[in-house]
Amino acid sequence: MAAPASPALRLGTPSIGAISVLAGATGTLESVVSPTLPLLQRELSLDPAQGALLSIAMLITGALTAPIAGVLGDRHGGKRVLIWLMAVVSAGGLVSALAPNLPVLLAGQVLEGAMVGAMPLSFILVRKLCPEDKSPVAIGVISGFFVGGGMLGTLVAGPIAEGLSRHWMFALPTFAIILASLLVYKLVPDDEPSRNDAKIDWPGVVLLSGIVLTFMAGLAAAPDMGSQPLLLIGIVGCLAAFVTGWIVVERRAASPMFDLRMLAKPAVWRSYAITFAVCIGAALSIFLVPQLFAVSGDGYGFDAGPTDIGRYLLPAAAMAAISGPLSGLGVRRFGSTAVVAAGVVIMTTSLVGMAFFHTEIWHLVVGKALISLANGACITALVIKTATAVDQGTTGTATSLVLVIRVLGFATGAQLGGAVLTAGTPDGSDIPAESAYVTALVIAAVVTTLSLLAVRNMNKGATNESR
């Protein structure tokens, strides 16, 4: 049972507001590359392979940084590590803003990737310094600002890059991060380290990094695996070796990066499995819907431009922004399992609806908005479930892995969507058949529905969780 926060150290509304603004600013900076990738490729003379590298650089470094940040925050204090981490992110944002070429921009993106670690550090502060009955709503608000910031960045990056320059689309969110970090430093009370004498399990860090990088490499090489079976065998073999080595090291380490007993709890590993499935479904919709707006195919599509697409996605941005707070309130009243189950059902229904009804713009607008609401609510509820299923001293460690799995799920979904559309493109055409979009959306619905198998028993093995 987590000890109640001291009244003198409890987070008040200004503190939660400062952390939330920081989450929104980091979410905005995280999302500016994706919608402006064609512009960056044109201005920096990038080929498709270089563009793909630029689009995933932050994802990879974020997936590697989040677990380390969570462990450091658990052991040395969430606020202290968060401030230092934001210094790295701010440096990365400024490097990206000033970058004259691809190598410098990639360096900035690598530094920016550290921002993914801000979320588990925020959750550490909430669990340590918030009353137990208030923490689900606080986590929901912070998560909502992060998701909402991501949608905001997607919407404004193009207009800023076209109206000012690509440099400003990095600079403006970076200035917001610097200001929000100063507010966090001034308004958020210090939290006590839980294990400041513990050493970092560097072998565990290296092996987990190997797992993430091998998984990402496997996704990138997936289109070639059918014709190159040895490539598939090599990647599967490397992944199995890294996973086996990581388990062995973590079981023997004096201060393991992840306590495998924590990972064995049904409430924890089921949350991870659901996160992966739900994020695959959400990523497919994120990848497919803008293309459906833009495509002008044989009897389908709307031939929409970037400004129109941004306008059509605005309701989804609004739903993403409010999903976190609504999820926190729902968890407090109905329990996290009920919120996750409801979110999965809404997502599945919306995906199936868009698969078979996409002849009008409002079909896609409504469907994408519902998916954004449901996905944000699910991920927030899963973070709350994970955070409250473990001891207070491992909050950052446990929640950081949720964010790693979220990244892997989104990468898997995007790659899967690309593969389905490529396979569904007729010979001699560069426009996928309408049936390819239907197939991809049905696949997304099936994968999302499968997560219900894990939702049913999520409450098993909890120690102090919101049911």
pLDDT tens digits, residue range 106-117? 888 888 888 877
Q: What angle do CA 86, 87, 93 make, to 5 degrees?
A: 85
Give me the percent of the chain exceeding a pLDDT of 90. Answer: 11
248 plus 265 within the same structural domain: no
Whole-model pTM: value is 0.73
358 plus 455 within the same structural domain: yes
Give me the percent of the chain exceeding a pLDDT of 70. Answer: 83
454 plus 414 within the same structural domain: yes
Examine residue 389 and state whether it is found in any structural domain, yes or no. Answer: yes
237 plus 369 within the same structural domain: no
Which two three-digit tokens encode residue 94? 């400024």
351 plus 411 within the same structural domain: yes
Unique residue bearing structure tokens 């799995």: 405
328 plus 366 within the same structural domain: yes
124 plus 208 within the same structural domain: no
CATH of the domain at 117: 1.20.1250.20
pLDDT digit string, tens, across residues 57-110: 777 777 777 777 777 776 777 778 888 888 999 999 999 888 888 888 888 888
Q: Are 117 and 402 in contact (CB under 8 A)?
A: no
134 plus 231 within the same structural domain: no
pLDDT digit string, tens, across residues 357-366: 988 899 999 9
Spatial separation of the C-alpha atoms in residues 320 and 314, rounded to whole Å: 10
Examine residue 298 and state whether it is found in any structural domain, yes or no. Answer: yes
pLDDT digit string, tens, across residues 173-194: 999 999 999 988 888 777 766 6
List of the chain residues with pLDDT < 70: 1-12, 37-38, 46-53, 55-56, 74, 132-133, 192-200, 220, 222-227, 257, 297-298, 306-307, 390-397, 456-467
Spatial separation of the C-alpha atoms in residues 157 and 309, rounded to whole Å: 13
Spatial separation of the C-alpha atoms in residues 226 and 213, rounded to whole Å: 21
pLDDT digit string, tens, across residues 375-399: 888 888 887 787 777 666 666 667 7
pLDDT, residue 3, reads 44
- The pLDDT mean for the chain works out to 79
169 plus 288 within the same structural domain: no
- In DSSP terms, 343 is beta-bridged to none
147 plus 220 within the same structural domain: no
Domain hosting residue 181, numbered range? 1-190
Which residues, 6 or more positions from 132, have their beta carbon under 8 angstroms from its beta carbon? 2, 4
Examine residue 420 and state whether it is found in any structural domain, yes or no. Answer: yes
Provide the domain count of the chain: 3
213 plus 185 within the same structural domain: no
Which two three-digit tokens encode residue 106? 């990639």
Examine residue 196 and state whether it is found in any structural domain, yes or no. Answer: no
Q: Which helix (H) or strand (E) holds 179?
A: helix 166-187
Examine residue 197 and state whether it is found in any structural domain, yes or no. Answer: no
349 plus 273 within the same structural domain: yes
Per DSSP (E only), the strands in 60-169 are none
